[in-house]
Structure 1
């Protein structure tokens, strides 16, 4: 034991050092200053370098969305499966740590053995002095037994045994320690995977909620467009009755009405499908959330300021980066294990037993038997197995290193794309708002002129179609702005801090 303590520092292998992470001073896609639109109005929402809130969905100010998000961690199937995988990794750490300690096994046994006459005869010829047959003969002269060996009937022999066996491998080269290190790194990767699942499901619920509210807004627009189309039908019929226009205008107005009405069933179906999608994310059966979400509500507006933090915090906040680093750590530790397999293994073994031919003698001190001693195992020829395992682990380490670099680069790309999309989508929404106002004014003027016979109904139809399309585009861009807000926080890796605190996970 003293010798093992002296050589505990003789671990072999490359050993793990945390990789250096590049971090710029500012976000690539972050606007350097607040821009203005063509009419001098500032955008509604601007990212700022402030500490982001872990409960980012509360910034929408929508109690229904916050209530849905509060159920994700406990009810979402993907998160619950990741939690079970984390428990599996925790058990694997305990399993890998077992060889660090001596192994003790208690055993007890009873054997009833019948020897044959031929075996007894061979034993006499060879000279029996010990063992079960020796105990049967004792110190008596064997000559008489030799004469009667062929006809002698040997009674069964009972053997009783109980005791303790112990073994302990001296971890001279760090093989066991590195195995535990790899298991703990894998445990950390599982914890980060669970966090990644939670971040993704938070974002998925929020996106589906925005989509639902957007589809409900589209349905409301279609119904309002239906009302506008009915007004046009009444107007054309009144003018046709008064002889001021032809039946062609009436049929054109009716066809416009039917075209709008045909879109409503599809919109209602999309709303129902989206409610079921949210229910599935929360582990609910179909139609379970219809009462809760069936009533239409506007798309939650984005806040004026969006805290996104600083770039140096990205690696700390993104669970996928932390997971990739843990996987690199585990792969490096496995290389250490493969290198240690080339070195000798020293194992201390011992046993202490009581053995007797009768149960009543088993407890006597004279029935004791023990063994103690070290053993050494040195790999001499394994057919290339150890070399192949080392090369495999080294290749897996290189793969983990490249995967880590790719994950970090992907994270920067995700954030940059999200910041760019969030800024540009607001510009599109502002343009759609101006388009709706212009088409609404054009439709009002076209109707007035048509009512006074100054324009044909074709101009009214054109203005109606333009207004209908502009309204749908505005609803789509408004929904997309809120969805891009969700995507931004998904790229930043926010949402897991208060649900799965790092200290809580690390302490297990």
Structure 2
């Protein structure tokens, strides 16, 4: 910091002042940066089972790693294209990518704090005047100009590791933001696949409803023919009409659901509604799950799931912040200095800035020991937050394991349901065929036909939902396993249009395109349990 009185004293005492402070400066600099307070982070231990509950099921492979591009297991080119476009265009994913850029900038700020915190050139010209009556001193120069030109510097030495811990916290925060980005990517991919499955399910159900409409129209024609010929009463016609119109009424409802699902898919792709119809060209079939699914071992979710890694890095960052807070419990050592030129010109004085050197240099010690517990309680706040994140990490691991187990159970049981529902549909189709023939021949009344047709539509809907459940359960399983983010590791996190827009406003250097040092570290391996 700079003060004019100190500057003038420096001019008068010069060398002796500097020589007197030099030994102390050397000692402070030598001691700076030799201690780091606060705990070092260690990943919390979490107990996991050695195998999933479905161990031994022939449809599940635990010794094989989960497929990186798991959505391609459905062998659906339309789905592949939708996932690719969503990864490029989804707006919330772009926001997650920009949070990485923000974290990089914050790391840059923390890194800069390790060096002189104040580095500023200064200069001013001040004209001053004093009334002769106010001065009341004969011969006093009442009008003069003061000139100053110099440089200030203040450097708080990182004696207790405050700034090193700050860099550590922001480095972990960068890694956490990267993990959050990949977690968003996992969720996005799964949501695109799930929404696509919902769309195909609606399309199948609409097709089934129209086919049943055709069958029921045929039954109504038979009832009308028999009524005209006096073979039956008008009741059969009324019943046939009721069933037909009831079936027709379901079609607009299904179409509304279909359109809503398409709109949701458009939003996932970062497009306005009505822009996905061409992308959905192809067979209107529910995605077929593969016969064998690779899930790996339970411990692998600690490495594969980005949200778990994010929870770990957030906890590590908070651990470092405890050290930042603890540093305030100890004295701080600061080096300060000012050097410059100062001269005054006025009546009767000569102006020679070159001969007007002044400087101020020295160490400063600050120790706020009378703080009434504020610093200690700040440390306690940071420690409590850290403990919350540790517990949250353990909970995230357990929830991840639960999600995998739930999805496995849903997937395997849905497959069994499909087998039974397919048999029920086959039997219902046979019943409709037989009941129509028997009704046409007068062997049964129309109630048999109505029951058979209602049952067919219901069983077909059940089968479609069961097939959809197989696909969505498998999608949920891959999401729970944390699959899919690896395919985007080498892809840009900021789109070209956004890149150009941001560069027009601010000089970002390579921060928008190049990863920071923490991001180039090797990904943590799963803990041994």
Measured against the shorter chain, the TM-score band is 0.7 to 0.9
Q: Distance in 2 between matches of 1:220 and 1:72?
A: 28
Output one character per residue of 1:303-333: Cα deviation in whole Å (capped at 9) or x when no partner: 1121222222111111111111111111211
Q: Distance in 2 between matches of 1:401 and 1:482?
A: 35
Q: Which secondary structure state, in structure 2, belongs to the residue aligned with residue 19 of structure 1?
A: coil
User: 2:276 — aligned with what?
Assistant: 289
Q: Which secondary structure state, in structure 2, belongs to the residue aligned with residue 74 of structure 1?
A: helix
User: 2:120 — aligned with what?
Assistant: 105
- Number of equivalences: 468
Tell me, which stretches of 5 or more residues in structure 2 are unaligned? Answer: 1-25, 492-513, 522-529
C-alpha contact (below 8 Å) 2:131/2:142 kept by paired residues = no
Work out which of the residue numbers 5, 12, 17 in structure 1 matches 2:42.
Answer: 17
Which TM-score applies when normalising by structure 1? Answer: 0.87
Work out which of the residue numbers 334, 339, 357 in structure 2 matches 1:352.
Answer: 339
Q: Which secondary structure state, in structure 2, belongs to the residue aligned with residue 245 of structure 1?
A: coil
Distance 1:69 1:111, change over 3 A: same
C-alpha contact (below 8 Å) 1:275/1:293 kept by paired residues = no
Work out which of the residue numbers 55, 61, 65 in structure 2 matches 1:51.
Answer: 65
Which TM-score applies when normalising by structure 2? Answer: 0.84
Q: Which secondary structure state, in structure 2, belongs to the residue aligned with residue 347 of structure 1?
A: strand
User: 1:430 — aligned with what?
Assistant: 419
Tell me the CA shift for residue 352 of structure 1.
1.3
Q: Distance in 1 between matches of 2:396 and 2:131?
A: 73
User: 1:225 — aligned with what?
Assistant: 212
Q: Which secondary structure state, in structure 1, belongs to the residue aligned with residue 104 of structure 2?
A: helix
User: 1:444 — aligned with what?
Assistant: 433
Output one character per residue of 1:92-128: Cα deviation in whole Å (capped at 9) or x when no partner: 111112221124211121111112335534xxxxxxx
Q: Does 1:414 align with 2:403?
A: yes
C-alpha contact (below 8 Å) 2:44/2:394 kept by paired residues = no
User: 2:99 — aligned with what?
Assistant: 85
Output one character per residue of 1:270-293: Cα deviation in whole Å (capped at 9) or x when no partner: 111111110011111111223333
Distance 1:231 1:424, change over 3 A: same
Tell me, which stretches of 5 or more residues in structure 1 are unaligned? Answer: 35-44, 122-145
**Segments of 4+ moved more than 6 angstroms:** none
Q: Which secondary structure state, in structure 2, belongs to the residue aligned with residue 10 of structure 1?
A: coil
Tell me the CA shift for residue 242 of structure 1.
2.7
Q: Distance in 1 between matches of 2:454 and 2:352?
A: 101
Tell me the CA shift for residue 49 of structure 1.
3.2
Output one character per residue of 1:66-115: Cα deviation in whole Å (capped at 9) or x when no partner: 11111223311211111122211211111112221124211121111112
Output one character per residue of 1:391-418: Cα deviation in whole Å (capped at 9) or x when no partner: 1111111111111111111111111111
Distance 1:328 1:483, change over 3 A: same
Which residues in structure 2 correspond to 1:466-481 (within 5 Å)? Answer: 466-481=455-470
C-alpha contact (below 8 Å) 2:298/2:401 kept by paired residues = no
Tell me the CA shift for residue 209 of structure 1.
0.4
Q: Distance in 2 between matches of 1:58 and 1:464?
A: 37
User: 1:276 — aligned with what?
Assistant: 263
Distance 1:192 1:314, change over 3 A: same
Q: Distance in 2 between matches of 1:498 and 1:358?
A: 71
Tell which structure's C-alpha radius of gyration is larger: 1
Q: Which secondary structure state, in structure 2, belongs to the residue aligned with residue 353 of structure 1?
A: strand
